[in-house]
Amino acid sequence: MCKSLWFQVLGVAAGGAAFERHPMLPHHVQRLGRDCIAHWDIPRRFCWNSHLSNYIRWAGHYSWAPYPRTGVTVNWRPPNFLGSWRLPHFLGPWRPPHNWNWQPDNITQNSFFHLSHPNMESEGDEPPSKRRRRSGQHDICSPNEEISSCNLNEAACLSTLSKNKEENTANIRGMVKRHWEYFCHQSKKMKILEDKQVDQNNTEDKGKFDFTVMSYNILSQNLLEDNSHLYKHCRQPVLIWGYRFPNILREIQQLDADVLCLQEVQEDHYEMQIKPSLESLGYHCEYKMRTGKKPDGCAVCFRISKFNLISSNPVEFFRHDIPLLDRDNVGLVLLLQPRFHCKTTAAVCVANTHLLYNPRRGDIKLTQLAMLLAEIASVAHRKDGRFCPIIICGDFNSVPGSPLYSFLKEGNLNYEGLSIGKVSGQEQSPRGQRILTIPIWPPSLGISQNCVYEAQQQQEENTGGKIKEAKLENTEELVIAAEKFPSKLQHHFKLSSVYSHYSPESGIPEVTTCHSRSAVTVDYIFYSAAKDDSTAQPGVEDTFDGGLKLLGRLSLLTEQDLWTVNGLPNEHNSSDHLSLLAQFRLIEQ
C-alpha cells in the first residue's frame, strides 16, 4: 500500500464518517474505518456523556481531566465491544503505549468503572510505623445464617455466626473480613433476617418488628482531597471517586440494611449518583447539606417496603447571632412508621449527625449535641408524655469513655471545672486550655440544661396534669436538678450503645476509623433499649413507650486488623471509616 493511501487509512480511523466510503479505498479498509469509528464512539457514548469524567478526581489534579495524569502506570486495553474484531494482518498487531496500564471493568447500568488496583498488601508500601504482623482474619458473612456458638466473655452472651455460603468463604486477598455477632436471648439457635416477609408475619401478632440500621461515614471526596496528608499510605488510584463509589455501593447492597445513616455525603455525588442508585434499590432518601462552604452533609435513607415517613426534620447548628455556634455541622431527625405492624401508632425516631471535629472545642461539640437532643425530644415526644423508641447514629468525633460519650449514655454531665480539650477525649495534652463556662451556651439559644426546647419544657410544666405520673416526676426532677446545679447537663433518654468498643475475645480496643494519623472509635449507634433488653438502663419503662431490643451487630476490628490490609481506605474498603450495622426488634408496651 502506498504511503498516501496509508495516511488515508489513518484518516478513516480518526476522522469519522466522512471517510467511511472513500472511493479509492478497498472494501476491507473501508470496513476498518467503520469499525474504528464504532469502537471509539461506543465508550464515548456510554462513559463520557454520563458525566463520569466529572467524578474522576484526585488530590492535586483538575476535575476535568479524563484520566489521572500522575506517575501511576496505566495499562489500557480496548473494551471488547465488537466481538472478535481485529486489525488486518498487514497493519501488524496492535500494541498499547508502554506507559498505559488501565483496564476498565464491565460497564454497569450507571457507567461506573474501576481502575485496576495494585497489590495493597505489600509491606513496602506501608508506613514503617504502621507495619503490622499479618495474622488471622475475621469473616464477613450475610446475617441469613444460624448461630454456631455462644461467647460467654460478653456479658450479654454474644454468638458468632459461621459461614455457609461459598462466596463468603472465599478468601479474597487483601480483605479483612467481619462477622456477625448475635445476642442469645431465647435459644442457642435462631435465624435472623432469613425471610423478611415470613419474619414480619410471625412478629405482627406479637407486637414486634425487626429491622437493621447502618451508620457509615463514606468519606467525602472533597474532604479527602483537602486532607490528603491523612492518606499517604494509600495508592493513588484507590482514592479516586470513580473507584471508591462502586465499592461503597456494593457494601451497602451486601449488608442490605433497612435504614442507612450516612455522613460526609457530598452534594453533587448525592444528587447524581448516590440518591439514584439507592432509590433503584428501594430506598427513600432524605438529605441535609452543611450550611457553609463544605459541600457535604448527612443523609438518612430507608426502605419504603419497611417504613413510612412521618416527618423529616433538619437541624442546623450554625447560629449567626451566637459566636459559639459559628460552625456549619448539621443533623437530620426522621420519624418513621413501620409497615405491617400490629399497632398503627408505632413509630421510631432515627437521628443522624456529624459533630465538629476540632478536638479542642468541646464546648461547641456539647452545644451541638444538646441542639440535636432537643430536636429529638420534640420529634419523638408523644401525647402521653413518653417518647417513641430512639436511634441516634453518626460520627461524634469523641472516643469511648470521654465526657461527651458518658453524657450520651448516662444522661447527665457535671462539667464544672472541665477543660474544653477533655470533652471529646481526642486531645492528648489539654493543659493550659480554658475551662467550660457555666452555662456553656447563652439563654438566647432557647435550649435548657435538660437539652429540650424552652417552649417544650414550659408546655410540659403547664400540662403536667395530663402526663403520666412517672413521666411527671421525671420531668420535675430534671427541672429541680437544673436549678440546683447549673453546671449539670441532663437529657430525658436512657440510651445504650450497640458496641462495647473492645474485642470480646482479646479485650483490645476496637476502632471505627483508621488512617495515617490515628486509629480510634468515633462512630456510634445509640438506642433506647427495651426493659427486657440486656443493656436496658433502670427506669426505661417509665420514659419510653416500649423500646428496642438489640438482636445482633456486625463486628468491628482492631487497629492491628486494619493495618494488615494497609489501613483505610484500601482496595476493598473505600472509606477511612468502617460501617456500623445493628439489628433491632421494636417492642411496644
Query: Tell me: the pLDDT tens digits for 41-72?
Result: 434 434 443 444 344 334 333 333 333 333 34
User: What pLDDT does residue 125 have?
Assistant: 43
Q: How many CB atoms lie within 10 A of CB 267?
A: 17
CB of 553 within 8 A of CB of 582? yes
- Give the separation between CA 333 and CA 351, rounded to whole angstroms: 4
Q: What pLDDT does residue 425 have?
A: 95
Answer whether residue 494 shows pLDDT above 80.
yes
**Predicted confidence band of residue 515 (pLDDT cuts 50, 70, 90):** very high
Q: Is the pLDDT of residue 527 over 70?
A: yes
Structure confidence at residue 64 (pLDDT): 37
Q: Is 505 exposed, middle or buried (0-12, 13-18, 19+ CB in 10 A)?
A: exposed
366: left (phi over 0), alpha (psi -120 to 50) or beta: alpha
Which pLDDT score is estimated for 445?
97
* 8-state DSSP, 119: -
Confidence at 273, pLDDT banded by 50, 70, 90: very high
Average pLDDT in the chain: 75
pLDDT at 505: 85
Q: pLDDT (tens digit, 9 = 90+) per residue, 202-258?
A: 544 456 799 999 999 999 999 999 999 999 999 999 999 999 999 999 999 999 999
Contacts with 458 (C-beta within 8 Å, 6 or more apart), sequence order: none
The confidence score (pLDDT) of residue 373 equals 98
Give 457's pLDDT tier (boundaries 50, 70, 90). confident
Can you give the pLDDT at residue 237?
95
- 408, 400 in Cβ contact below 8 A? no
- Identify the pLDDT of residue 483: 58
Rounded CA-CA distance 401/409 in Å is: 10
Distance CA 276, CA 283 (A): 9
Residues 139-162: what's their mean pLDDT? Answer: 40
Three cell numbers, residue 78: 480496548
**pLDDT of 479:** 54
Residues 392-411 pLDDT 10s? 999 999 999 999 999 999 99
232's grid cell: 499517604
Q: What pLDDT does 404 receive?
A: 98
β-strands 513-514, 557-558 pairing? unpaired
Q: What pLDDT, in 10s, does the model give residues 331-386? A: 999 999 999 765 656 899 999 999 999 999 999 999 999 999 999 999 999 888 88
Please give the grid coordinates belonging to residue 459: 408546655
All CATH 3.60.10.10 domain ranges in the chain, comma separated: 147-587
Judge whether 392 and 580 are in contact, CB under 8 Å: no
Q: What is the pLDDT of residue 383?
A: 84
pLDDT exceeds 80 at position 563? yes
Q: What is the mean pLDDT of residues 154-177?
A: 48
452 pLDDT more than 50: yes
User: Lowest-confidence range among 177-191, 257-271, 285-299?
Assistant: 177-191
Q: Which of 452, 360, 370, 371 is nearest to 398 (CA)?
A: 360
147-587: CATH, from 3.40.50.300, 3.90.1170.40, 3.40.50.2300, 3.60.10.10: 3.60.10.10
Q: Is 506 strand, coil or helix?
A: coil
* Ranges 39-48, 287-296, 550-559: which has the least confidence: 39-48
Residue 423 has pLDDT above 70, yes or no: yes
Provide the pLDDT confidence category of residue 489 given band limits of 50, 70 and 90: very high
Which pLDDT does position 486 carry in this prediction? Answer: 82
Asked whether the whole model's pTM tops 0.85, one would answer no
The letter for the amino acid at 504 is P
Q: What is the pLDDT of residue 476?
A: 56
